Amino acid sequence: MIVMKPEATDEEIDAVVLRVESVGCSAHLSRGDLLTVIGAIGERDDVQSLGLEGAPGVDHLVPILKPYKLASSQFRKGERSVFEIGGRRVGGEHFGLIAGPCTVESREQTLAVADVVADNGATMLRGGAYKPRTSPYSFQGLGQEGLRLLQEAKDRTGLPIVTELMDARDIEAVVEVADVIQIGARNMQNYPLLAEVGRTDCAVLLKRGLSATLEELLMAAEYVLKEGNERVMLCERGIRTHETAYRFTLDLLAIPALQEMSHLPVIVDPSHAPGRRDWVKPMSLAAAAAGADGIIVEVHNEPEKAICDGPQALPTEVFAHFAGQVRQVAELAGKGISAAV
Ligand code: PEP
Ligand code: MN
């Protein structure tokens, strides 16, 4: 929408209309008492390429279509995306309970956690084989061996696997095991990596960057969708604010906001923002109550011995009770925990 200045002349208005039409868009003129506006209908990028800001008589431009076309709610005419991942549905009325260790540490740990979450109705198993660590001196994950252990856990429990990909060079090995590729918060704007996962037929869990706006998250999703991969889940995991009383500020308003902006399922990670386990349940229940399409939560069989993120891990002993409460709240919000179809 091109808003003309009150003093714009007829020649200036005609010149803008001609320029809009010159790039194959149609121009709809609306003359009011005070202002004239020109609606340009066509490709946003084509109109943008004209550089109409600052043209004679033009006051300002108001984009009507979202820059994230494929991710936008308009793209699906307001209908929510529901898709199947390893025999489980996610989105709409299907609540995804994704649980597992932060990091795959050993066979014993992985299988112990996998068994407990599977026995208590989890939808998928999470676990990192490649870990994004703030320090290069911290444990970086078991890599290939970790993927092998995830495969064993999948064969044993039947749970689809969610695991992080950090480096495009590992993509072949990761997609062999993963049902969902996790793109971590620190890689949300790694555009070549996003395009690369967009070219796979593996679903994607895209985490919101530490200081990313919702629009930036949706633009990142657009990179994946644009390559033809439609199964993208958005994940709110806490953002950096001025608050230092906890690790990150979990932005629960992102749930209804993203669901208004986009048709994609919205998953909440209740573990990384608190950074301590006693705040994980309240955040999980709050996320379910706010209408999230699922949660991805960290669970460990021996949290005190965990190599990574132990303080925030739910011990396996409490998982049954936890899952039961999440189920109740999700049901209040009109969703059922998704199981094998
Ligand atoms: C994780 O899921 O363990 C993780 C590292 O998450 P994030 O990328 O959100 O920090
Ligand atoms: Mn973690």
Q: What is the DSSP string of 74-85?
A: GGGTTPPP-EEE
Distance from the CA of 48 to the center of ligand 1, in angstroms? Answer: 36
| Ligand 1 pocket residues where CB is under 6 Å | 102, 128, 132, 184-186, 207, 237, 269, 272
Tokens for 285? 């229940």
Structure tokens at 271: 């573990």
What pTM, to 2 d.p., does this model score?
0.91
Nearest-atom index, ligand 1, CA of 238: 9
pLDDT in tens, the chain (341 residues): 999 999 999 999 999 999 999 999 999 999 988 889 999 988 888 888 999 999 999 999 998 888 999 999 999 999 999 999 999 999 999 999 999 999 999 999 999 999 999 999 999 999 999 999 999 999 999 999 999 999 999 999 999 999 999 999 999 999 999 999 999 999 999 999 999 999 999 999 999 999 999 999 999 999 999 999 999 999 999 999 999 999 999 999 999 999 999 999 999 999 999 999 999 999 999 999 999 999 999 999 999 999 999 999 999 999 999 999 999 999 999 999 999 98
Q: Which residue has a Cα nearest atom 1 of ligand 1? A: 102
For 204-222, write each residue's pLDDT tens digit: 999 999 999 999 999 999 9
Q: Left, alpha or beta for 60 (phi > 0: left; psi -120 to 50: alpha)? A: beta
Mutational pocket test of ligand 1: of 182, 189, 298, the residue with most ligand atoms within 8 Å of the beta carbon: 182
Rounded to the nearest angstrom, the gap between the alpha carbon of residue 66 and the centroid of all alpha carbons in its chain is: 17
Distance (Å) of CA 214 to CA 23, 105, 114: 30, 33, 32
CA 165 to chain centre: 14
For residues 206 and 217, the answer to whether their CB atoms sit within 8 Å is yes
Amino acid at 218: L
**In this structure, which residues have their CB less than 5 angstroms from ion ligand 2?**
102, 309
Q: For a substitution probing ligand 1, which of 161, 207, 240 has the most ligand atoms within 8 Å of its CB?
A: 207
Q: Which residues contact 20 (CB under 8 A, 6 or more apart)?
A: 2, 26, 27, 38, 40, 42, 47, 50
Amino acid at 196: E
Q: Which ligand is nearest to the CA of 309?
A: 2
pLDDT above 90 as % of the chain: 94
Cα 35 from Cα 262, distance rounded (Å): 32
Give, using CA atoms, the residue closest to atom 8 of ligand 1. 184
Structure tokens at 184: 């971590």
Q: Spell out the residues 6+ positions from residue 253 whose beta carbon is closer than 8 angstroms to its own.
A: none
